[in-house]
A and B are shown apart, each in its own frame.
Chain A
């Protein structure tokens, strides 16, 4: 393979029903950094697939894409792995990007390895960061064992070099309303002819999430298994509401049906958050969870066990029974 023929950094953007997933903007910020590190003159390129998506290219441009390739077709209305992969495979082989980034979302985690399988190249999975090292090589930082270990992954001899990155981990993307960018339409008709229709999307269903999204909240109040009951869980919810924040949880609270669902789960297999203030109530602090909240501003933890691992990763430690402490705190805030 002539590695030198592959140039430029791409972000495969993700949109569902006309809304771009914010991880796509985060990735564009990262792509700009990589471009500077590489001292490359190739435009940072975003690729957007879907139906009725004309208006969305501007958003990608304002978040840092210098070129937006828009692939519009009614057959791309809902994500189908076979269909999306056929189109992207042709586009990638034609334009030969050096680096392709995608969000480690459900769609990204299906599509990226699939493209890696078709293109016979390497994909670094659910990375916490990607960089260009001193030797000018693309390096992906990948967590293993629930985040206890991080490892550098390289893809020296194959192109494109691909990686999926966890949403929320790269930090706030920067919007520039005056950004200058180019929009290119790509005709996918030929690629779509190759799709056999063995995987057919028949519908998409999204739940409305109440309140402030966890990823955007300035304050996150997290309850762990030590909360002990659904009744005590109401303190977590009440405190989050009082502080204008959102509720987070660890796996047991989902399994016990205290929390609303997996969308509240923080950790390696859940969400990554970086609020101004994190309050962990009866959270023990497994590595798995810590990896999802380590970039928070002020970390406050409440736990009965003074040796709980969470205290080693906290700024403020309160040795107390959260079920007794939280009602007092709530009562006091209401008086304020």
Chain B
């Protein structure tokens, strides 16, 4: 028994630095200089899910990304964490893609690499956070899919000696929906699914020798009208920063005085402090 598994990842600017992102006042473009690039955090949960399934039933794990040439560093990191091989889709022609064009490009890259039984992604990327690529990728691949997956159980068919179906939970607001899904399938995983493993020194050593394929636009079978900016039905307009500033009156004095001032503010805002019985808050 063996499964061919893919994991789609995305290098993103480190979310810890998003407060530093500004908009160039003249060029009206986003300035992210000096912000390090990392692997989109939940994509590591996606790789962890793939590795666990490989350990359970056997198979291969391929990581793929559509990124600028330095995306190779992120792929090496995933190889060090345990993936078997990697593929970088990189070409200026892929640039400016929205989620539909991105998912199409990824789908064509995956098709070039073979017939996958399972494709994992993170639910969303930290930067754009559209969370749209997984569902659209599944459409291009013609596969079943689930989004926001928080639990996966393989259903092994002992007689056939293969996995044809799995059970999974999709996290919704305040609960979940349980599904049975036939393979092949795309699963977008949530951070609740698992805890990604640490990368060992041995893993880093091994990663250097693992195969990493680079595909440009000429290496994959793509319809040029469906990739990059031209293949994107959505077009970006102006960018701006939301105004979040408020007047910021500082209350001063000792703690008791500040408490009194605050109570006045609450009353002025229409909060009735008297009617709440003390038994409500007792603990």
Q: Confirm or deny: B203 has a beta carbon within 8 angstroms of a beta carbon on chain A.
A: no
Known: A21-B173, A110-B135. 10 other contacts (CB 8 A): A81-B135, A122-B234, A139-B237, A150-B241, A151-B240, A154-B237, A238-B283, A244-B276, A314-B246, A316-B262
* Contact A145 B262, beta carbon cutoff 8 Å: no
* Contact B256 A145, beta carbon cutoff 8 Å: no
B interface SS class: mixed
Q: Confirm or deny: B174 has a beta carbon within 8 angstroms of a beta carbon on chain A.
A: yes
Q: B170 contacts which chain A residues (CB < 8 A)?
A: 106, 110
Give me 30 A-to-B residue pairs in the complex whose CB atoms sit less than 8 angstroms apart, sorted by A's number.
Answer: A81-B147, A105-B172, A106-B171, A111-B135, A114-B136, A117-B139, A117-B140, A123-B99, A123-B100, A124-B234, A145-B21, A148-B18, A148-B241, A149-B240, A150-B239, A154-B237, A155-B233, A156-B235, A199-B179, A200-B179, A205-B175, A298-B269, A312-B246, A315-B246, A315-B249, A316-B251, A316-B265, A328-B256, A332-B256, A332-B260
Q: Determine which of B233, B237, B259 lies in contact with A152 in the assembled complex, contact meaning CB atoms within 8 Å.
A: B237
* Contact A151 B178, beta carbon cutoff 8 Å: no
Q: Confirm or deny: B238 has a beta carbon within 8 angstroms of a beta carbon on chain A.
A: yes
Residue tally, chain A, CB below 8 Å to B: 100
Residue tally, chain B, CB below 8 Å to A: 84
Give a binary string over A305-336; 1 marks a CB under 8 Å from any B CB, 0 the rest: 00001011111111110001100111011101
Least CB distance from B120 to A in Å reads 16
* Contact A291 B242, beta carbon cutoff 8 Å: yes
Q: Output the nearest chain A residue to B31 by Cβ-Cβ distance.
A: A149
Q: Confirm or deny: A204 has a beta carbon within 8 angstroms of a beta carbon on chain B.
A: yes
* Contact B271 A202, beta carbon cutoff 8 Å: no
Q: Determine which of B174, B234, B274 lies in contact with A123 in the assembled complex, contact meaning CB atoms within 8 Å.
A: B234
Q: Determine which of B103, B129, B247, B278 lies in contact with A125 in the assembled complex, contact meaning CB atoms within 8 Å.
A: B129
Q: Output the nearest chain A residue to B130 by Cβ-Cβ distance.
A: A125
* Contact A125 B99, beta carbon cutoff 8 Å: yes
* Contact A276 B270, beta carbon cutoff 8 Å: yes
Q: Confirm or deny: A99 has a beta carbon within 8 angstroms of a beta carbon on chain B.
A: no
Q: B274 contacts which chain A residues (CB < 8 A)?
A: 336
* Contact B248 A317, beta carbon cutoff 8 Å: yes
Q: Determine which of A82, A139, A206, A276 lies in contact with B174 in the assembled complex, contact meaning CB atoms within 8 Å.
A: A206
- Known contacts A105-B172, A106-B173; A320/B100 CB under 8 A: no
* Contact A146 B103, beta carbon cutoff 8 Å: no
Q: Output the nearest chain A residue to B13 by Cβ-Cβ distance.
A: A145
* Contact B172 A309, beta carbon cutoff 8 Å: no
Least CB distance from A142 to B in Å reads 8
* Contact A209 B174, beta carbon cutoff 8 Å: yes
- Known contacts A155-B233, A201-B179; A329/B259 CB under 8 A: yes
Residues of A at under 8 Å CB distance from B? 16, 21, 78-82, 105-107, 109-114, 116-118, 120-126, 139, 142-158, 197-207, 209, 218-219, 234, 238-239, 241-244, 263, 268-269, 276-277, 286-288, 290-291, 294, 297-300, 309, 311-320, 324-325, 328-330, 332-334, 336
- Known contacts A294-B242, A320-B255, A336-B263; A238/B235 CB under 8 A: no
Q: B133 contacts which chain A residues (CB < 8 A)?
A: 113
Q: B280 contacts which chain A residues (CB < 8 A)?
A: 241-242
- Known contacts A114-B136, A157-B233; A204/B177 CB under 8 A: yes
Q: B126 contacts which chain A residues (CB < 8 A)?
A: 146
Q: Output the nearest chain A residue to B265 by Cβ-Cβ distance.
A: A316
User: What is the CA–CA distance of A198 and B166 in the complex, to the nearest angstrom?
Assistant: 10
User: What is the CA–CA distance of A256 and B178 in the complex, to the nearest angstrom?
Assistant: 27
Q: Output the nearest chain A residue to B274 by Cβ-Cβ distance.
A: A336
Least CB distance from B48 to A in Å reads 17
Q: B233 contacts which chain A residues (CB < 8 A)?
A: 116, 120-122, 155, 157-158
